[in-house]
A and B are shown apart, each in its own frame.
Chain A
């Protein structure tokens, strides 16, 4: 969590963005992030991101649900309070299937969504720097962390990648608790300068 300096480049077409990302990475710059208004397929590969392990987590949560349901119902019906329902066995597996299935799905879905929110730092009250208010509308924004020395150089490079607009911004790189209707101190300082 720190306020840093970033060079940003704005694009309005994926067809320009992809070669630009390739060129930037090829030139040895480390892309901080690319912000897009919708899921651009293949961008994760272009940025060299690994495959997400979210589905593996979902599978493990699902198994937890299955064993919770079977274990809990089995323990109640055989140990805690064995009852005789019309002479049926104490561990009637077929009749346990509906609840077992539902809990598997429930655990998996809830667990995955919570994991997703944790990994992506999503929660009511969380705030992140928005480089361009239209990055959730129609623009794609690439941000590269820069120092005072190389800022101008990086910006010139980004101009050459077909960017529609470029600029240098002071930004908080991570997330913080905040309200979107209030400007942050670092933002006010930037505006003064």
Chain B
């Protein structure tokens, strides 16, 4: 009898009366089975989107950033919007794997692997935008501080744009390491079950020779814990630094101290929405409903409603401070956001981000899969609008003659679609060749959070104290 006790009032995290072996069977099945027709179609669609994106980018490189509809006033358009949007999406993974690990949230084990993969792919997509916006992309390495041939010339270390370079690349590297160190034992599981030689060889390489030694597991636990501790402030720092791109400037509507927390909350908000979009489909297609349960979906919806409300408070605070500051330029910038030529983006943002997530206060809606899926799309549209609204503060500057309106050109739209192509191509490959749910971590929580083991605990809960003690004494 196991005495790792968790109350049965708390919802089980693994359904379907699983034991260790069944967990392995279920979670390895997607990797071991032949890809379905649906997978092939999805993969081809994503790959063609990626190809179109590559064409749009090639066009931009060939003819210069002039093919984008940026102009004198609006120097940042869809590219930076998309950059911030993707980086924001890339925040949920590390939040789930790091912050929820430190807070001992058992439910993270069902979703962390896929969410971390999503993070890595989203950051890859985000990175494309500033890189290709450089125009002369072959000189992109100038942002790196290296001893160069142009004399002792260094990048400007006090520029937020350079901080971004360090923040995004560190975030990518650390997320990748965190993700991969968790994958090693699971690759070993697949390797030892492999039937074909190719599979044994490739998963043998990927598993780094892991055998599951007790000492190695001890170090692995230490590694995960410290990486979680490091990643927690890292997640917060990355979007803070992204917000500095705006906040350290002196543009009305950007020059505010509220940006860092407001951006981080928005990032978590949109990241969780993207996790919902992906996992609701993934759990259905790969038959993982026992591991990614309604309880998991509800927990993530709770995060969405909290962060959505934080974002809402931030929007209102911004408006109030603009009014209260008495600064004419600031007031005008916010009047233009609400009532100016881009009013539709502002109200789209308000509806999608602030009003609609409030529906998640109802438990019935939090546990409704269709509604959650619909809302996850709405939230991501809203968060895209948020970045667009902020960046379009540029459309009217101090000189009325240069006021303008901006709509993207086809290479800009193509670039954005291409980033979806990149994201989903990676995601499709991930769900086919990688274990989508962390196998070893599910086994770790199975005996206190699996439904089978919780039911066994029920009998103990109602047992008389003296009887229990006696039984245990005899047992050993």
Which residues of A does B touch, CB under 8 Å? 12, 14-15, 19, 33-41, 43-44, 47, 49, 52, 54-55, 58, 62, 72-73, 76-77, 80-81, 85, 88, 92, 95-96, 98-99, 101-103, 105-106, 108-110, 112-113, 116-117, 119-130, 133-138, 175, 179-181
Contact = CB atoms under 8 A, between A and B. Distances in A.
Interface of B: 1-2, 19-21, 23-24, 145, 152-154, 156-158, 160, 162-163, 166-167, 170, 173-174, 177-178, 181, 184-185, 188-189, 191-194, 197-198, 200-201, 203-206, 208-223, 225-227, 230-231, 233-234, 237, 241, 244, 440-441, 443-444, 447, 476
Contacts of A76: 145, 152, 154, 157
Contacts of B210: 120, 122, 128, 136
B70 to A, nearest CB: 26
Given A15-B2, A113-B223, A126-B208, 16 more contacts: A14-B447, A34-B213, A44-B215, A81-B153, A96-B157, A98-B163, A101-B233, A102-B237, A105-B170, A109-B173, A109-B174, A109-B178, A110-B173, A113-B227, A130-B192, A136-B191
Contacts of B215: 33, 44, 49, 120
A120 B184 CA distance: 12
27 contacts: A14-B2, A37-B20, A37-B440, A39-B218, A39-B221, A52-B219, A58-B226, A72-B145, A73-B157, A76-B154, A76-B157, A98-B241, A99-B162, A101-B237, A105-B237, A106-B173, A113-B223, A116-B223, A119-B219, A122-B210, A124-B205, A130-B211, A133-B193, A136-B185, A136-B211, A137-B192, A138-B24
Contacts of A113: 177, 181, 223, 227
A48 B234 CA distance: 35
A138 B206 CA distance: 21
Contact of B223 (A112, A124, A137): A112
A125 B170 contact: no
A102 B177 CA distance: 15
Contacts, number: 210
Nearest to B218: A44
Contact of A85 (B154, B158, B193, B206): B158
B130 to A, nearest CB: 16
Contacts of B241: 98
Contacts of A133: 192-193
A7 to B, nearest CB: 17
Contacts of B20: 12, 37, 137-138
Contacts of A106: 170, 173-174
Given A109-B173, A138-B21, A117 B226 contact: no
A174 B425 CA distance: 39
B214 A123 contact: no
B209 A43 contact: no
B109 to A, nearest CB: 11
A122 B184 contact: yes
A102 to B, nearest CB: 4
Instruction: Pick the most buried of A14, A36, A88: most chain B CB atoms within 10 A of its CB.
Output: A36
A135 B181 contact: no
Contacts of B163: 98-99, 102
B157 A105 contact: no
Nearest to A135: B212
B173 A35 contact: no
A103 B211 CA distance: 32
B204 A37 contact: no
B217 A43 contact: yes
Given A43-B214, A99-B166, A85 B192 contact: no
B208 A124 contact: yes
A136 B162 contact: no
Given A72-B145, A136-B189, A88 B158 contact: yes
B234 A179 contact: no
Contacts of A121: 209
Instruction: Pick the most buried of B181, B214, B221, B233: most chain A CB atoms within 10 A of its CB.
Output: B214
Contacts of A98: 160, 163, 166-167, 237, 241, 244
